[in-house]
Amino acid sequence: MRPVSLLLFSALLLVACLPLLARAVTIHDAAAENDLAGVQQLLKADPKLLNTPDADGRTLLIIASAWGYLPMVTFLLDSKAELNRVDNDGFSALHWAAGTGHRAVVQLLLERGVNHALKDKAGRNAQQFALERKQAEVAKLIAELTAPKPAPTVIPRGLVKPNQRTALGRLGNAQYLTLGWGAAELTPETISAGSDAALADDLRQLQARGLTEGLIELALRKAGMRGIQAVQVGITARPTPADIAGVLGEPADRENDEYRDPAQPDAPAKPLTWLKYGWLQFGAVEGKVLLARVDCPLLETARLDLLPKAGQVIVNKKDNAEAVYVPEGEFTMGNDRGDADERPTHKVTLDAFWIYKREVTVGQYRRYCQAMNIQMPVQRPGINDNYPVVNVGWDEAAAYAAWAGGRLPTEAEWEKAARGTDGRAFPWGATLDVKKCNSKDFGRKETMQTGSFPDGASPYGALDMEGNVYEWCQDWYDVSAYYNSPARNPKGPAAAPDRAKNYNIGPSRVIRGGSYESDAVKSYAANRKPASPSERVADRGFRLVYLPPEEL
């Protein structure tokens, strides 16, 4: 081919490829901005883009995993995205999710079968990378979910007495049937195939009646018994003794005991009643079933506290926000060396609650506005859906909370979620570090994407509790609130205090956490500020206390 013809051919080939290259860049940008609808539209036009990498070798799945976009990751996996692709540095989707601390994405990738042993160019697998990035909890999760599973212990059918077999069948829980029959898979089908079809029928009927999902399977798995499948079950519903009796009948016996919350070892013990059903026993505390154990002649006794653990994450399906668990118990509120309204320091006991891990985002609030057919507040130009929503008044924040299945936090809940129980001044510890929050000292001078400072997380894993935007709280602002604050679950004044008794401050709600315009040294966890409920400003947003459906 002559040189001129070769140049002409190359030019034509480049022109022909330009649309594909342009689309690839567009779809990767859409993925980075959490534009799920845009990604879906582009993939519908060209499915081959699903696994097309960008210039850095990152596929859509890698990008979405790095940002922690759980709904998009779920969609891409359902669309058969390649799990084990790596970018130009050898990082897989699991590496990125682990290194950026996105637990829910890590768990989903592992459940879908990602290769956790893949190593980047520096020779690190995802667990090692998470540890290097100071994501110890994520590294622990990877270790737990990838630990070798022991071979199931098969209990010969002849060793199970008829009455014991009946009790197992009546419980209607696949984990118990596994103990009785040695089935490797925890489904009615595999149980009936290897043992007794009648037990499988019992199981189906009782599952349909809705005994708390996973109650006993979690107990047995955590107790380390052999033959129990490692499945994750989020225990948010806590049945009452009446719920249990509705499925199993009245207990054969009861036994009084004591319960101590492992998260509060110094707190007084509470009365505990064991409801006995042969091998199976439930422990009820204050009208809720919190414990389960198995007393079996063939197996060790299993007992487990079924309350969530501090920092455990669940997802609110209404807006796909992650919430972290803050256990019941006492903490120190206020600051005797701070402003007048932060005094005196005092002890407060709160019930357990779930609080959003991040501030409510532009994308989440936009979906709410679309659902409610209301106008979206003006946001700063050029930002994506992962920035905190701002220019929202207190009433608007409370309305979003009600729509999403939650409420605004009390300032006591906010402060405990920010500082924990050890009296620290800042979410990350006792000393100021301007590199761990988006305050004025950091120098950005505008909002940043939520979760941009993982090293600034609170003891429960809540992010951006200092800096970025001030956050609305439930309480009316009262300068002297701490002098007559209840010792348990304070909610602030029932109405706005009289201006004359409140340093001439008009009706105001509490805002917490400081913003990008605040001095970091003045944005410690105990600091409180008043704000008119009608104010809509560019450095104020909010997060929610999430109320799982059974608590609404």
Residue 114 confidence (pLDDT): 92
Residue 247 CB coordination number (10 Å): 17
State whether residue 533 is helix, strand or coil.
coil
Q: Is 312 within 8 Å of 344 (Cβ atoms)?
A: no
Provide the phi-psi class of 514: left if phi over 0, else alpha when psi is between -120 and 50, else beta.
left
Lowest mean pLDDT among 15-24, 302-311, 497-506, 537-546: 15-24
Q: Cα dist. 55→21, 28, 119 in Å?
A: 10, 10, 21
**Distance from CA of residue 491 to its chain's centroid?**
25
Residue 22 confidence (pLDDT): 41
- The residue with greater pLDDT, 506 or 464, is 464
State whether residue 323 is helix, strand or coil.
strand
| Rounded Cα–Cα distance for residues 514 and 510 (Å) | 12
Q: Cα dist. 233→73, 213, 221, 271 in Å?
A: 20, 8, 10, 27
Which DSSP letter does residue 120 get? -
| Rounded Cα–Cα distance for residues 439 and 445 (Å) | 8
Query: What mean pLDDT is predicted for residues 454-473?
Result: 97
| Rounded Cα–Cα distance for residues 101 and 366 (Å) | 25
Fold of 313-551: paralog of FGE (formylglycine-generating enzyme) (3.90.1580)
- Say which residue the tokens 């667990």 belong to: 127
Listed residue (46, 38, 105) closest to 71, CA to CA? 105
CA angle 34, 54, 12 (to 5 degrees): 125
**Distance from CA of residue 24 to its chain's centroid?**
32
- Listed in sequence order, the residues at least 6 apart from 296 whose beta carbon sits closer than 8 Å to its beta carbon are 179, 279
| Rounded Cα–Cα distance for residues 40 and 417 (Å) | 37
- Say which residue the tokens 């806590």 belong to: 238
CATH superfamily of 22-146: Ankyrin repeat-containing domain (1.25.40.20)
* Claim: this prediction has a pTM higher than 0.85: no
Query: What mean pLDDT is predicted for residues 251-260?
Result: 84
- The residue with greater pLDDT, 384 or 197, is 384
- What pLDDT digit, counting tens, does each position of 174-218 carry? 233 333 222 223 333 333 333 334 434 444 443 444 333 343 443
> Is pLDDT above 80 for 293?
no
> Is pLDDT above 50 for 230?
no
pLDDT confidence of 280, banded at 50, 70, 90?
low
Q: Is 61 within 8 Å of 83 (Cβ atoms)?
A: yes
Q: Do 22-146 and 313-551 share a fold?
A: no
Listed residue (49, 110, 57, 56) closest to 76, CA to CA? 49
Beta bridge partners of 324: 313, 355
Q: Where are the domains of the chain?
A: 22-146, 159-305, 313-551
Burial class of residue 371 in the structure, from the number of CB atoms within 10 Å of its CB (0-12 exposed, 13-18 middle, 19+ buried)? exposed
Phi/psi for 184 (5° steps) reads -80, -35
Q: Is 289 within 8 Å of 240 (Cβ atoms)?
A: yes
Residue 252 confidence (pLDDT): 83
- The residue with greater pLDDT, 492 or 288, is 492
End-to-end CA distance of the chain: 75
State whether residue 89 is helix, strand or coil.
coil
Q: Which two tokens stand for residue 527?
A: 């600091």
pLDDT confidence of 308, banded at 50, 70, 90?
confident
Phi/psi for 240 (5° steps) reads -95, 165
- What pLDDT digit, counting tens, does each position of 55-94 carry? 999 999 999 999 999 889 989 998 999 999 999 999 999 9
